[in-house]
Amino acid sequence: MAAATDRSVLSSALCYRDPKAALRWLEAAFGFEPTMVILDAEGNLAHSQMELGGGTIMVGNEWSEMHKSPKSINGLNTQTVHVQLTDDIDGHCERARKAGAAILQEPETQFYGDRTYRAVDPEGHIWTFGQTVQALTPEEWDKASGLTTKKRLD
């Protein structure tokens, strides 16, 4: 039997107190498209998936003591989600702002050639969005930043 995909795939799964509201908000604010919603017998969200630009996220509820929304743990995050966009990052930021995202960092072009911004969703997950606006080599961004880029640690 053939695998569902012939490449490695990484997907982020996020827990929300109100995953149905999160699904609607992520679609309105960030442009994610729902691709799967599974409901239990009572109509509660059991599992869902959304896509944006070929990337997938899973949105679910707080299903154990180890799986919590930042809203349930004083806004703490142990990871952030990064989404690489292909165009109009400034417009994307404005869409998110109008939908109620708290913008932590306004769109700004970084030393490595990407324009990025950071936003917080209603339950406290931190999202970073980036768009390559200038293709630079590691040598070029090292010169601009004073950093050193390598493939791996020595």
11-30, pLDDT tens digit by residue? 999 999 999 999 999 999 99
Neighbouring C-alpha atoms within 13 Å toward the C-beta of 69: 17
pTM above 0.85, yes or no: yes
The pLDDT of residue 147 is above 90: yes
Cβ atoms of residues 92 and 132 within 8 Å: no
With cut-offs at 50, 70 and 90, classify the pLDDT of residue 2. very low
Cβ neighbours of residue 39 closer than 8 Å, sequence gap 6 or more: 45, 46
The pLDDT of residue 70 is above 80: yes
Mean pLDDT score across all residues of the chain: 93
Question: Which domains are present in the chain?
Answer: 12-61+79-145 (3.10.180.10)
Cβ neighbours of residue 91 closer than 8 Å, sequence gap 6 or more: none
Give the CA-trace dihedral at 102, 107, 108, 114, to 10 degrees.
120
Cβ atoms of residues 45 and 38 within 8 Å: yes
pLDDT of residue 85: 96
* Overall average pLDDT of the 28-34 stretch: 98
Tokens standing for residue 99: 């939908």
